[in-house]
Amino acid sequence: MSVQQQDLIIAGRRQAACSGAVFDVLAPEDERLMAQVARADSADVDLAVAAARKGYSAWSALAPKEREAALLRAADLVATQGEARLLDTLIDESGSAITKARFEISYTVDLLRTAAGEARRLYGDTFPNDNPQRLSMVFREPMGVVAIISPYNAPLSLLTKMTAFPLAAGNSVVIKPSEETPLTALALGEILVEAGIPAAAINVVTGFGADCGAPLTAHADIDCIALTGSTATGTVVGAQSMQRMRRCQLELGGKSALLVLRDADPVASANIAAQGIFTHAGQICMANSRILVERPIYEEFIAALKQAAEAIHLGDLRDERTQYGPLINRAAVTKVMGHIEQAVTEGATVLTGAEIERGLVIRPTVLLEPDRSSAVWREESFGPVASVVAVENLDEAIAVANDSDYGLSAAVLTHNIQWGFRAARGIRSGSVHIGMHAFQSNALAPIGGVGLSGIGRSGGKYSTEEFTELKWVSVSLEDDGS
């Protein structure tokens, strides 16, 4: 297979990096060289931000119905051409199984359509004034140029969510995708330009965190930062944004808990739990990597979870039966295997897995009763590893779920409505799902977390709120303005 060469997108047009530098993109499945992509640095960031500033004037001046129409055209392009233009890139670049890649494409269509609707919903407000001769109102306005920094795990749908809603609100964007998955981002950028969004409003700078992401977040002429990524990066970017008092939306890591209560069916619960942790090899921020099971069904549950994990198909990425493929790179494999080995050294039992299947593919792994201070229990492994512990009752399950620095998502499996809602109210987390696993998506939902999982929410009207400013405007009805 030939090695592609890909340039940046500045003001909608392809151009090489100012320095002429490129970097390699490897396909995780076999670590072959897929592409060489322009490696942007601060000079390219300057060009992209300057273009985006011009693009902001053009795009924000359009009527809401014109912004809506452009985003709907983008949705139609993805719906009709996504298989041809995006599917192979997604599979090869991010190591996605075909079912996951197809899900990303269809969810991208939903996100673009939902965002298109938001273009018409930039509602303001009015409020009473004690002086009857004065009117007070609130204008909702776009923020300007939004810097968007995205991760590798869902390179199409996450980036779309991060981009489409700010655009709907009238902002322009400079996108800095993960260095692992620039090709998907460039393909999306082309689709947005083709859909008729003013070219200058769409800019994609490909490169690394240190020499492309950092100058972007530090740039004097951006108005807002949206980062989806690790908590380590979020800490740096968040601190940077405060240097200039810029709004910063951070969607970061997770260590989601799944509670399996005593009335739940152990076999059905094990299947749900397996899906919630092993989808895309656990490279999902909301993956339920901590599973808390009430003692009366613990033995039956773990027997069923072992069976579910061992039944997972790890074949060719283009085989519909394949549930997941490789981790993104060798460093990720080393980290995940390190977490497993450390947990075992510290007393955890391996129920299944803990081995490499091939290349960067790790078998579905279930650890029992890891030490509650071990990395696998406390830190995000971002791999196909679930830890299971027994708990005595619901109160203990809620307490254990809350004993985490993270708070992105959680789930509870029970048929008892009171127990389900007690868990939903008691767990400190951005979302809690009853009767499902913890990895859920919905274009209208407020996705985000508490604690080290981040700040802010994205999706539907919640994104509109994040990516707009409020302005109080008042008027005197008296001629002398008193």
Residues labelled as active-site residues: 251, 285
* Closer residue to ligand NAD (CB): 208 or 421: 208
**Amino acid symbol at 96:** S
| Alpha helices per DSSP H over 263-329 | 266-278, 298-310
Contact flag: residue 209 with ligand NAD (CB under 6 A):
yes
For ligand NAD, the binding residue among 38, 112, 285, 317 (CB under 6 A) is 285
Q: By CB under 6 A, is residue 160 in contact with ligand NAD?
A: no
Nearer to ligand NAD, 60 or 228 (CB): 228
Residues near ligand NAD (CB under 6 A), total: 32
Q: How many CA atoms lie within 13 A of 247 on its CB side?
A: 20
Tokens representing 291? 């599973």
Q: CA-based Rg of the chain, rounded to a whole angstrom?
A: 23
Which contacts qualify for 120-127: CB closer than 8 Å, 24 or more apart?
A: 120/64, 120/65, 120/68, 121/461, 121/464, 122/64, 122/169, 122/170, 122/464, 122/468
Closest CA to 190 of 14, 421, 27: 14
Distance, CA of 428 to CA of 257 (rounded, Å): 11
CB of 302 to ligand NAD, least distance (A): 26
- Determine, following the binding rule CB under 6 A, whether residue 230 of this chain makes contact with ligand NAD: yes
SS3 76: helix
Termini Cα distance of the chain: 75
- 228 near 221, Cβ under 8 Å? no
Give yes or no for residue 383 binding ligand NAD (CB under 6 A). no
Name the minimum Å distance from CB 129 to ligand NAD: 40
> What beta strand segments (E) does 364-466 contain?
365-368, 385-391, 406-407, 410-413, 432-434, 450-451, 454-455
Cα–Cα distance measured from residue 153 to residue 281, given in angstroms and rounded to the nearest whole number: 10
Binding of ligand NAD at residue 293 (CB under 6 A)? no
Compute the least distance from the CB of residue 454 to ligand NAD, in Å: 6
| Residue in 198, 238, 254, 459 binding ligand NAD, rule: CB under 6 A | 254
Question: Which residues from 399-438 bind ligand NAD, rule CB under 6 A?
Answer: 408
Q: Out of 25, 78, 175, 214, point to the residue binding ligand NAD (CB under 6 A).
A: 214
**Interface with ligand NAD (CB under 6 A), residue from 29, 110, 179, 466:** 179
Nearer to ligand NAD, 426 or 449 (CB): 449
CB 431 within 8 A of CB 409: yes
d(CA 144, CA 318): 41
Rounded least distance, CB 431 to ligand NAD, Å = 10
Which residue in the set 113, 176, 246, 437 belongs to the binding site for ligand NAD (CB under 6 A)?
Answer: 176
Residue 276 C-beta: closest distance to ligand NAD, Å: 14
Q: Which stretch binds ligand NAD (CB under 6 A): 66-74, 252-260, 268-276, 470-478?
A: 252-260
DSSP 295: G
**Interacting residues with ligand NAD between 140 and 159 (CB under 6 A):** 149-153, 158
Q: Select the residue interacting with ligand NAD from 94, 163, 172, 178 (CB under 6 A).
A: 178
Q: Each residue of 360-397: b (16+ CB within 10 Å) or e?
A: bbbbbbbbbebbeebbbbbbbbbbbbbbbbbbeebeeb
Nearer to ligand NAD, 223 or 251 (CB): 251
Residue 68 or 380: the one with the smaller Cβ distance to ligand NAD is: 380
Is 4 strand, coil or helix? Answer: strand
Choose the stretch contacting ligand NAD; rule: CB under 6 A; options: 27-35, 195-203, 229-237, 385-393. 229-237
User: Interface residues with ligand NAD (CB under 6 A)?
Assistant: 149-153, 158, 176-179, 208-209, 213-214, 217, 228-230, 233, 236-237, 251-254, 285, 380, 382, 408, 447, 449, 454
